[in-house]
């Protein structure tokens, strides 16, 4: 395999022009922690690597009721940001459990998204927070929900001339709580057997007004367990409803059997971990509305 050419661009416009001309033959990089491994295994054989580290895609800002994260914000940047820690704790916990410090210093939020792994650790919390993403090309930008981005393992709706530039997270409403859990053969430095994120919001009378249950490594793409969510919305939380939602979430999965775990084990652990995350989120809400 011939080594790809390399260019470090100084502007997004320059990178977009290259993508317009080269399409899938050019791969953009920032941390490249996963791409290098895929190139080694010949999953990808790009002709050109376009380094975006000199482009300002690593900024963090709060604007018009949403947090905006550049696609090449590193996981270490997220962990060091006090505002993100307060506003989006499930995302911070996912970053904390991701690999080790050397990798977190290089790995980027956008890279974890565009790899489109069903087991990507950062995607469930982002989807639980109703993240939108910005895809840029020479023709302009388009914004879409992250939940609409994935079409299969390693597959997305991103066109060959597009670059992911930004992730936008709407601020959570009051009386909201979120949680992230990862099950792996080790706490970090391992691909998830199952990962998931929960977000609950309570209304004025203590009933659940909104719920997100997002599962990773449980289907060909990251999965929202919408039937399980529906069991919670409009009702006051109870131990029975938490149990029912956990069972329903497991039923919505379609995991595979691989070297890390069997399909049956993933289904069973989904139920266990969804229940655990729902109870943890409920605790964070002060067990509001609990039926004694």
The answer to whether the CB of 74 falls within 8 A of the CB of 106 is yes
Question: Averaged over 251-276, what is the pLDDT?
Answer: 97
Q: Name the pLDDT band for 290 (thresholds 50, 70, 90).
A: very low
Q: What is the pTM of this model?
A: 0.94
In angstroms, the CA 283 to CA 277 distance is 10
* Tally of domains in the chain: 3
The two structure tokens encoding residue 214: 């997002």
Specify whether 46 is located in the same domain as 107: no
Which residues constitute the domain of residue 45? 5-51
- pLDDT of residue 291 exceeding 50: no
Lookup result for tokens 């000199």: 54
* Residue 201 included in any domain: yes
The answer to whether the CB of 201 falls within 8 A of the CB of 173 is yes
In angstroms, the CA 12 to CA 58 distance is 12
Torsion region of 32: left, alpha or beta (phi above 0 gives left; psi -120 to 50 gives alpha): left
Specify whether 81 is located in the same domain as 101: yes
The two structure tokens encoding residue 135: 């895809």
The answer to whether the CB of 219 falls within 8 A of the CB of 253 is yes
Q: With residue 132 as reference, give the H or E element that holds it.
A: strand 132-137
Mind listing the pLDDT tens digit for each residue in 208-223?
999 999 999 999 999 9
Question: Averaged over 277-283, what is the pLDDT?
Answer: 98
Q: What percent of the chain has pLDDT over 90?
A: 86
Note the pLDDT of residue 189: 64
Helices 263-284, 239-251: inter-axial angle, 10-degree rounding: 150
Of 73, 90, 152, nearest to 115 (Cα)? 152
* Residue 184 included in any domain: yes
Specify whether 186 is located in the same domain as 263: yes
In angstroms, the CA 158 to CA 74 distance is 21
Specify whether 33 is located in the same domain as 67: no
Lookup result for tokens 């070297």: 259
The answer to whether the CB of 68 falls within 8 A of the CB of 166 is yes
Specify whether 134 is located in the same domain as 214: no
Q: What residues have CB less than 8 Å from 242, skipping those under 6 apart?
A: 275, 278, 279, 282
Specify whether 19 is located in the same domain as 78: no
Give the lowest-confidence range in 29-43, 112-126, 251-265, 270-284: 29-43
């Amino acid at each position: 395999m011939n080594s790809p050419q390399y260019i470090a661009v100084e502007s997004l416009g320059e990178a977009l022009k290259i993508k317009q001309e080269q399409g899938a033959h050019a791969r953009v990089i920032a941390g490249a922690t996963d791409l290098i491994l895929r190139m080694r295994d010949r999953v990808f054989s790009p002709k050109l690597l376009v380094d975006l580290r000199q482009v300002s895609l690593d900024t963090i800002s709060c604007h018009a009721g949403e947090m905006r994260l550049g696609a090449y914000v590193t996981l270490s940047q997220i962990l060091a940001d006090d505002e993100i820690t307060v506003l989006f704790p499930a995302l911070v916990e996912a970053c904390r459990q991701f690999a080790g410090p050397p990798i977190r210093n290089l790995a980027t939020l956008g890279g974890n998204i565009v790899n489109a792994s069903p087991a990507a650790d950062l995607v469930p919390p982002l989807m639980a927070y109703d993240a939108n993403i910005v895809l840029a090309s020479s023709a302009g930008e388009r914004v879409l929900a992250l939940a609409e981005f994935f079409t299969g393992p390693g597959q997305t709706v991103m066109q060959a001339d597009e670059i992911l530039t930004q992730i936008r997270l709407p601020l959570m409403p009051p009386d909201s709580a979120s949680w992230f859990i990862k099950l792996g053969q080790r706490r970090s430095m391992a691909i998830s057997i199952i990962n998931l994120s929960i977000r609950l919001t309570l209304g004025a009378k203590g009933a659940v007004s909104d719920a997100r249950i997002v599962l990773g490594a449980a289907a060909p793409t990251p999965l929202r367990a919408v039937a399980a969510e529906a069991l919670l919305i409009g009702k006051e939380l109870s131990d029975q409803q938490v149990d029912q939602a956990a069972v329903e979430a497991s039923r919505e999965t379609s995991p595979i059997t691989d070297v890390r775990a069997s399909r049956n084990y993933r289904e069973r652990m989904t139920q266990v971990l969804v229940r655990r995350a729902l109870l943890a989120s409920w605790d964070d809400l002060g067990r509001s509305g609990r039926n004694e």
